[in-house]
Amino acid sequence: MSENKKLSAAELPAGDIVEAGTAQDFHTGSWRSNKPVWNKDKCIHCLACWISCPDSSIKIAPDEKKTTVVTGIDYDFCKGCGICAKECPVKIQAITMEVEKK
């Protein structure tokens, strides 16, 4: 649990201003009960998962040919909704959902 010190009225900027980027520190991945598991060998890098992910949790990067490819799943922010697994082409099934450890 992040136990950040709460600011006082004297320390806060006036008028409900919050600096950008705070969502980076809020790891919503802890809400997950099912997790997507990505199989690198099966993936054809169609990016259907990437475009469908509501939490921008499909990690991508250019490969040596400067083609954008999937590189993994960002478990800090993935809430385990399963859309990626659903959108992965039926014949490929490079993403499968597994139960988080209990």
* CB closer to other proteins out of 66 and 101: 101
Residue 14 makes contact with other proteins by CB under 8 A = no
Residue 32 makes contact with other proteins by CB under 8 A = yes
Quick one: tokens of 63?
Answer: 């490969």
From residue 39 to residue 78, the character string flagging contacts with other proteins as x (rule: CB under 8 A) and all else as - is ----------------------------------------
Question: For residue 24, how many C-alpha atoms fall within 13 Å in the half-sphere facing its CB?
Answer: 4
Quick one: tokens of 36?
Answer: 């997507």
The alpha carbon dihedral of 28, 29, 33, 37 has a sign of: positive
CB of 101 to other proteins, least distance (A): 7
CA distance 39 to 73: 11
Sole binder of other proteins in the list 23, 30, 40, 68 (CB under 8 A): 30
Task: Tell me the sheet residues that pair with 96.
Answer: 37
Sole binder of other proteins in the list 22, 33, 66, 67 (CB under 8 A): 33
